[in-house]
Amino acid sequence: MALSRQLQQLIRENPHRLYLSLEGPIDVFSADETIPRSFAGCAPQIVAGTPSKAFVKVANPCGCSGFALPCDRLATGFVLLLPPGNEMLPAACVLAHQLMKAAPRPEMFERYFLRREKFCEAFSV
């Protein structure tokens, strides 16, 4: 929980600041997860020993809110944290919108998740 304490200290020092991090790949290697660590052998350490979360993991314990914004890397994205309260929400929304315009994403991501286009033929039984 060192990051949690560091974030809380940063917020105390400047409560009107947004925090941005590029994190990932999130939950691909199961870092810091309890289940893989409960097994014996070398695999749990290999699988669970790669940290992939920072702000994602400490946002709620620190009383923060945030946005996770996708990028062109699988299971990776920008994490934008807001300090407790809603004073920074307008600035965070503007920054999130600008990041989404600037950050590249695969065409398939755009098609499936933003435009919600599905390419499948109708079939009958």
Q: Check residue 79 and give its pLDDT.
A: 94
What would the two tokens of residue 76 be? 């990776």
Reading across the β-sheet that carries 65-70, which strands appear in turn? 19-23, 77-82, 65-70
Q: Check residue 50 and give its pLDDT.
A: 63
AA identity, residue 42: C
- Residue 35 confidence (pLDDT) above 90: no
Give the dihedral sign, CA 72/74/75/76: negative
**29 or 100, which is more confident:** 100
Q: Check residue 118 and give its pLDDT.
A: 76
Which among 116, 110, 53 is positioned nearest to 79, based on CA atoms? 53
Q: If you search the block for the tokens 């079939």, which residue do you land on?
A: 123
Tell if the pTM clears 0.85, that is, is over it.
no
H or E segment and range at residue 56? helix 55-58
Distance CA 115, CA 9 (A): 40
Q: Check residue 29 and give its pLDDT.
A: 67
- Residue 46 confidence (pLDDT) above 60: yes
Which among 55, 80, 57, 82 is positioned nearest to 68, based on CA atoms? 80
Lowest-confidence region among 16-20, 31-35, 61-65, 94-98: 31-35
Task: Give Cα 121 to chain centroid, integer Å.
Answer: 34
